[in-house]
Structure 1
C-alpha cells in the first residue's frame, strides 16, 4: 500500500499565517473552495425539496399522462446531454467559473419557470432549460476543484462536496415530506420556486467568490503554441475511455437502477411497500452522511481502481440482498429490513466512489481540455438513464422479475472486473493519489 499523503484537507482550510505575496494565492483558492462548498449546501437543500417529485408534478399537478411524462423527462435528458458537450467546449475557451455561473443562471430560470407552470408546455420548457443548465454546472465545478485544492487533497475535497450535497438533499427531503401534498397543488409550485431561489443564490455566491480566481478564465496558452483539442482528442485517451467504460457500467447497473427500477421491484416483493421504499432512500442518504468522511480517511492510501472495485461489489451486495428479500416465505418485517439495509449498503458504495469519480478525469486531463474531460465524465449519468431503466422495465415487467436481480448483480460484478483491468492501465500518479 502506498504511503498516506502528509497533512489533510483541514490544513488547506486553515488560513495561512504567512504574510506577504506568498500567502495571496492560497488565500484566494481557499476562499473559492469555501464559496463552492457553501453554494453546494444551499442549492442541495433546494434540490432535496423537488428531487422525488418530477413525475408526480407533471402527472398529478400539470395533468400530463404518465407515459408522456416519461417521454418529456427523457427528451430533456437528451437535450441536456448535448448542452453538456457544448459546455465542455465553452469552458475550455472562456473559463470553468464563467460556465458554472451561466449554468446556474439557466438552471434557476428553468426551475422558476417550472414552478410557475400551470400546464404541460410551460412545464416542459422549464424542465428543459433547468436540465441544460444543470449539465453545465457540475462538470465545471468539478474542474474548478483542481484550481482550488492541491493535488494531494483533491480526493478528499470531492468526498466532502459529495457528503455536503447529501446533507442538503436530506434536509430538503425532510422539509418536503412534511409540506408537499397532492391535495395542495400550490405546495408543489412553492418548492420549485424555492429550489430556483437557492440555485440563484449559488450563482451569486460563485460570482462573488470565484471572480478573478484561478479557473474563472480559460487557461492561457503561449502565443503560437499549437495545442491539440476537441472531443476526438479526449476519446483517443485510452486510459480515460477505459475509465468511462467502468463508470458507465457502474451507472447502468447501479445508480440508474435505484431511480425507479428498485422501487418498482420492491413494490412487487412480499415485504415491500411505499413505506419501505421511503425508508430505503432515507437509509441511503443517512449512510452517505455518516460514512463519507470515515470511509475517505480509511481508504486514503488505497489504489483508486480498488475503490472502484469495492464500489461495484457494494452494488452487487445491494442487489443480492434485494433478491433475498423477495424470496417467498420470508416474514414481511425481515424482508423490509433487508430491503432498507440494501439501500444503506448502496450508500456506502457511493462513499467509495465519490473520491474517485471526479478525481480520475481531472488527474488525466490536460489543462486546455479540462472542460471537455469533465463534460464527458458527467455524460455517463444521463447516458445510463437511457439504458438502465428501460432494461429494468423489460426484466421487471416480464414473467420472471427476479431476472432483473440476476442481470444487475452480474453487471456490477462485471464492472468490478473492469475496474481491476483499469488499474493496470492508469498511470501510477493517477492510480496512487
Structure 2
C-alpha cells in the first residue's frame, strides 16, 4: 500500500529543525577552536604573531570580496549550492590550519575561511526563510541565534577542559574536529533542496517579496518579474538594513568582543577572570531570555525591536561609563550590567533584523541582499576595534564607554525608520538615511 504524501509544512518544519540542530553541532565544534586559533598560529615557528595578523586580515578581505561579488550579481549560485560551497571552503580552511605550519599555508587557509564565510552567510538566511512561514519567522531566527550562542559557549568550555588535560598541542585535533563538524550541516542543506519552499504571500499580512521606493517609483517586485534587480535598486531596497548592520557591528558587537575586554583589563583593573565571567553571563542571559523576549516582540514591528536592541546597548555602555567613575566594586557591577544589557539587546536584534531585511527585498534577491549586509558586518568588525583602541588611549574608562554609547545611539536614529505602509502585497522601504 503506497504511503500517503507528507504535508509540505511538516517537511519544512523537519528540515528547519535539522538545519538548526546540525548548525548548532558545527557551532559547538567551532567553539572548541575559535578562542585558540591565534594561540595555535603564534606557536608555530614559521608563522608567529605576524601570521595571526595575516590570517585575520586576509580572511576579512576574502569575506568582503566574496560578499560584494554575490551582492553585485556578477556571480549567481543557487542558495543551497552556495551554502554547501561555503561549508566545504571552511572545511578546507581548518584542515590547512591543522596540517600547515607556514605563512603561505596560513594565508591560503585565510582565503578559504573568508570566502567560505562570505558564501555561507549569504545563503543560510534565504534557505531558512524559504522553509518558514512569515508568522513563525521571528521565533525561528531567534531560536537559531539562541542555539548557536549556547553551543558556541559549550564548545569553548569543553575545549578549555580538554586543553587543560592534553596541553596546547592538542589544538590541532580540535581544528580537525571542527572541520569535520561542517559536513553534517552540508548534508542538511543538501536535503533541504528537496523540500518545497513556502508559497509567497501567504497568511501573515506581511510580504517578503515586494518593496516600493520611498519616492513613489515602481516597486522592486514589479522589476523582479522581468529579471533580477539591478545593483542600484537592490541597494536602494536594502540600504537601510545594510547600514544598520554596519553600525551594529561597528559600535555594538565589535566593541563587546574586542574593546570591552581590553578596557576591563587595562583601565578598570577587573582582571582576566572577571572578563570570562562577563562573557559567560552574556551567553547565559541570551540562552535564558531569548524565547520570552521574542514572544514579547513578535507582535510588534521589526523596526521597534531593532530600536529596543540599540537602546539596550546604549544603556549598557552608559551604565559601564558612569560606574567606571566609581570604586572597584561599582566598576565591576557596571561591567556585568553592561554584559547583561548587551545580551538583552542581542535577543531583540536576533528576532528582528533578518525578518526586517526579508520584508524589504524580493525573495529571489534575498541572497544578494544578505551578502550586502554580510559585507557591511565584516567592515564593521574590521574597523570597530580600532575605534575602541583609540578611545582606550585616553586612559580613562569612562571616556571609552560614554562616547561609544553616543555613537551606538546614532545607529537607530539614522538607519531604522518606520515603513510608510504595510499591506499583504506591498511593503514600502524606509526612506534613505540622511548623512
TM-score range with shorter-chain normalisation? Answer: 0.7 to 0.9
Question: Is 1:280–1:339's contact at 8 Å kept on the other side of the alignment?
Answer: yes
The counterpart of 1:353, out of the listed 327, 331, 349, is 349
- 1:78 corresponds, among 42, 61, 64, to 61
- Give how far 1:159 is off: 0.5
**Structure-2 change in CA distance of 1:425 and 1:113 (3 Å):** farther
State the match for 1:121 in structure 2: 104
Kindly indicate whether residue 388 of structure 2 is the aligned counterpart of residue 405 of structure 1.
no
1:35/1:210 contact within 8 Å kept: no
Matches within 5 A, 1:13-24: 23-24=6-7
Aligned counterpart for 2:244 among listed residues 234, 243, 246: 246
Q: What TM-score do you get using the length of structure 1 for normalisation? A: 0.84
Q: Given that residues 146 and 154 in structure 1 are in contact (C-alpha distance below 8 angstroms), is that contact kept between their aligned partners in structure 2?
A: yes
For 1:324 and 1:227, the matched residues in 2 are separated by: 54
* Superposition map of 1:311-390 within 5 A: 311-328=309-326, 330-331=327-328, 333-390=329-386
- 1:39–1:202: 8 Å Cα contact kept in structure 2? yes
| d(CA) in 2 for partners of 1:255, 1:43 | 21
Pairing of 1:282-293 with structure 2 (within 5 A): 282-293=280-291
SS of 1:51's equivalent? coil
Give per-residue Cα distances to partners, 1:195-239, cap 9 Å, x unaligned: 1111122212322x21322469xx9xxxx96314343331132xx
Cα distance change of structure 1 residues 98 and 274 upon mapping to structure 2, 3 Å threshold: same
Cα distance in 2, alignment partners of residues 31 and 183 from structure 1 = 39
Q: Cα deviation per residue 1:56-96 (whole Å; 9 max; x = unaligned)?
A: 23223466454652343122101111112334567984421
Check if 1:277 corresponds to 2:281: no
Taking structure 1 as reference, are residues 193 and 87 closer, same or farther at Cα in structure 2, changes over 3 Å only?
Answer: farther
Q: 1:63 to 1:92 in 2, by over 3 A?
A: closer
Equivalent residue number for residue 423 of structure 1:
418
Alignment-derived partner of residue 203 in structure 2: none
Question: Displacement of 1:51 after TM fit?
Answer: 2.0
1:226 aligns with 226
Residue 187 (str. 1) matches residue 170 (str. 2): yes
Which residue of structure 2 lines up, in the alignment, with residue 213 of structure 1? 195
Given the two structures, how large is their TM-score scaled by the length of structure 2? 0.84
Looking at structure 2, the residues matched to 271 and 431 of structure 1 have their Cα atoms a distance apart, in angstroms, of 49
Alignment check: 8 A CA contact 1:307 1:353 kept: yes
CA distance in 2 between counterparts of 1:108 and 1:355 reads: 29
The change in CA–CA distance for 1:20 and 1:124 in structure 2 (over 3 A counts) is same
2-structure distance, mates of 1:171, 1:111: 20
The equivalent residue for 2:183 is 200
User: Separation in 1 of the partners of 2:15 and 2:321?
Assistant: 45
Alignment of 1:60 with 2:58, yes or no, is no
Greater share of helix residues, 1 or 2?
A: 1
Match in the other structure for 2:299:
301
SS at match of 1:306: helix
Q: Which moved more, 1:113-122 or 1:251-260?
A: 113-122
Evaluate the alpha carbon distance shift between residue 270 and residue 38 of structure 1 in structure 2; reply closer, same or farther with a 3 A threshold: closer
Q: Once the 2 structures are TM-superposed, how far is the Cα of residue 377 of structure 1 from its aligned partner?
A: 1.9
TM superposition shift of 1:339 = 1.4
Alignment partners' CA distance in 1, 2:122 and 2:344: 23
Aligned partners of 2:74, 2:14: CA distance in 1, in Å? 21
How many matched pairs? 402
Q: 1:338 to 1:202 in 2, by over 3 A?
A: same
SS of 2:352 mapped into structure 1: helix
C-alpha separation in 1, matches of 2:348 and 2:240: 19
Change (3 A) 1:261 1:183: farther
Question: Distance in 2 between the 1:91 and 1:28 partners?
Answer: 33
Aligned to 1:180, the other structure's residue is in SS state helix
CA distance in 2, matches of 1:196, 1:425: 46
Contact 1:142 1:358 in 2 (8 A): yes
In the alignment, structure 1 segments of 5+ residues that lack a partner are 1-18
The answer to whether the 8 Å contact 1:267/1:273 transfers is: yes
1:143 aligned residue (122, 126, 131): 126
